[in-house]
Amino acid sequence: MGLALVHGRARAGVRAPAVKVEVHLGGGLPSMSIVGLPEAAVREAKDRVRAAIQCAQFEFPTRRITVNLAPADLPKGGGRFDLPIALGILAASGQIPRETLHDCEFIGELGLTGELRPVDGVLPAALAAARSGRRLVVPEANGAEAALATGLEAVTARTLLEVCAQLAGRKTLPAAVAPPQRPGDGPDMRDVRGQAQARRALEIAASGGHHLLLVGPPGCGKTLLASRLPGLLPEADEAEALETAAIASVSGRGLDPACWRQRPFRAPHHTASAVALVGGGGEPRPGEISLAHNGVLFLDELPEWERRALEVLREPLESGVVTISRAARQSEFPARFQLVAAMNPCPCGWAGDASGRCRCHADAIRRYRARISGPLLDRIDLHVEVPRLPPSELRPDAPEGESSAAIRERVVRARTIQHQRAGRPNAQLTQSETMAWCRLGERDQALLERAIDALQLSARSMHRILRVARTIADLADSPHIATAHLTEALGYRQADRGGDLQAA
């Protein structure tokens, strides 16, 4: 009786649970069956495996072959099990040594010629293999991604025959090598002319991890400003970068190993659906908010977005995770992103402009603004008006703005203060931490309460104002929140003043 065990990895969200591929050769008419909740791509593996084994000049057993993918209640999808199934058949039939399989894990899709083709979700599998202490064998095209996992011995192969030669001791497979990191040469704040208040708001947002809304007429530089935010953020540490890279790895859209340390900037079009934002599908995959994890999500033309698509952002903005539930499975993806939204002040875009060209009546402006719900606006910390610049500030010989590198130095100092105090950015402080670290003096507390009453703000808005004030104080290297810090934070809640924004 022939029996062999090969180790592999499934894909479940951003996790890579272990799968034992058990292959049994028994008596009876020649056949091959795969059990253990295989999806269509896995069931089709028997045809790919048969052709690959024969093309590699091995004998395909003419016996009853049963392949069990354990645990049996975990759904298995994709072509990632082709290589372990083929190796299990060869080991069970005595064509390769079984004992060499015990300390290795295998992932890869097989072509009919025995060629190993890349699969998605290799990085989570590599991280899990490193924790298990086993080596990992992957297709050559996945080698750079697998090499990102520290403490892992990963090797690459081009064909099934090469893997078998390694297991038989006739060949040594090359180690997976991570590519050199490509320098982050993104857009620089030096290109932004004028807009002192918006530049200040970007610095505050980067320092505390706050969400930002930019309101202004067409062509005033809202998109230009938003695209500069990633360059102001501190460099991601290894844990953050690996978490973000793992999401990109399982998304099916590919991971560039040369850019895995760079913070993501996602800017979906306003026609994107709710599923495109949060993720989904029969086999759940991450959406735009998860692909922006530890980075920036930019939503331009905010009132033009479908109302349902915007409302799904509410919970992730608070919790930092999104859970996708289906009848057969549930997947949780991290979604701790910074939201930067941009919008025009009215349907024509020119309300409040000094040119007086806006002809929108008050009801049209109110309907336009009502497309964005109050609870969503409530979750955005900074509301900033971006005016149209005079032509004199756009001349080629006009002075350049401060560079992103100079601003990032102040941002890093402020973030260091926050991590020493609470272990996280101010925007992520809990309610109890906010009360402990954002205390006000008696006069400032009375000022805040009068502002809350006048603007009819919620308790959530009050806490967000306090966190923004704490960030402003950190930028000023002040141990306490002063009156100037609080009043500046209150000034960034202009969208809570209802019609004042349109009348400005």
- At residue 224 the predicted structure's pLDDT band, cuts being 50, 70 and 90, is very high
- DSSP, residue by residue, 439-491: ---HHHHHHHHHHHHHHT--HHHHHHHHHHHHHHHHHTT-SS--HHHHHHHHH
**Taking the mean position of all CA atoms in its chain, how far away is CA 128?**
19
Mean pLDDT of 68-73: 94
Angle at 205 between CA 203 and CA 210, to 5 degrees: 170
Residues of the chain with pLDDT > 90: what percent?
Answer: 77
Average of pLDDT values for 316-331?
A: 84
Which residue do the tokens 């973030």 mark? 415
Backbone dihedral region for residue 418 (phi beyond 0: left; psi -120 to 50: alpha; all else: beta)? alpha
Give just the sign of the alpha carbon dihedral 70, 75, 81, 86. Answer: positive
- With cut-offs at 50, 70 and 90, classify the pLDDT of residue 207: very high
Identify the weakest region by mean pLDDT among 357-371, 394-408, 486-500: 486-500
CB atoms within 10 A of CB 374: 11
Tell me the three-class secondary structure of 249-315, residue by residue. HHCCCCCCHHHCCCCCEECCCCCCCHHHHHEECCCCEECHHHHCCCCEEEECCHHHCCHHHHHCCHH
Q: What is the mean pLDDT of residues 252-274?
A: 90
Is residue 186 pLDDT above 50, yes or no? Answer: yes
CA nearest neighbour of 216 among 422, 497, 431, 494:
494
pLDDT of residue 502: 38
SS (H, E, C) 160-226: HHHHHHHHCCCCCCCECCCCCCCCCCCCCHHHCCCCHHHHHHHHHHHHHCCCEEEECCCCCCHHHHH
Confidence of residue 419 (pLDDT cuts 50, 70, 90): very high
Q: How would DSSP label each residue in 67-129?
A: EEEESTTS-B-SSTTHHHHHHHHHHHTTSS-SGGGTTEEE--EEPTTSBEE--S-HHHHHHHH
Whether the per-residue pLDDT at 499 is higher than 60: the answer is no
Instruction: Please check the confidence at residue 342 and state whether its pLDDT lies above 90.
Output: yes
Report residue 420: phi and psi, to 5°.
Answer: -70, -30
CATH fold for domain 189-503: Rossmann fold (3.40.50)
Q: pTM of the prediction? A: 0.90
Q: Which residues, 6+ apart, have CB-to-CB distance to 101 below 8 Å?
A: 4, 5, 6, 7, 87, 91, 167
- Among 263-267, 367-371, 395-399, which stretch is predicted with the lowest mean pLDDT? 395-399
**Which two three-digit tokens encode residue 400?**
């350049």
Q: Are 122 and 102 in contact (CB under 8 A)?
A: no
> Residue 503's pLDDT is what?
36
**Which pair of tokens denotes residue 355?**
């040119």
Nearest C-alpha neighbor of 44 from the set 7, 13, 14, 76: 76
Q: Within a 13 Å sphere around the CA of 123, how many CA atoms are in the beta-carbon half? A: 24
In this predicted structure, the answer to whether residue 244 has a pLDDT above a threshold of 90 is yes
* Each residue's pLDDT tens digit, 113-165: 999 999 999 999 999 999 999 999 999 999 999 999 999 999 999 999 999 99
Indicate the average pLDDT of the chain: 91
pLDDT at 16 over 90: yes
Domain with CATH 3.30.230.10 in the chain: 2-167
User: Which regions of the chain carry the CATH code 3.40.50.300?
Assistant: 189-503
Q: Is the pLDDT score of 389 beyond 90? A: no
Query: What percentage of the chain exceeds 70 in pLDDT?
Result: 97
Residue pair 116/146 in contact by the 8 Å Cβ criterion: no
| Domain over 2-167 is classified CATH 3.30.230.10 | yes
DSSP state of 331: E
The pLDDT tens digits for 443-459 are 999 999 999 998 888 89
Which of 182, 95, 244, 189 minimizes the C-alpha distance to 404? 189
Least confident of 151-155, 230-234, 388-392: 388-392
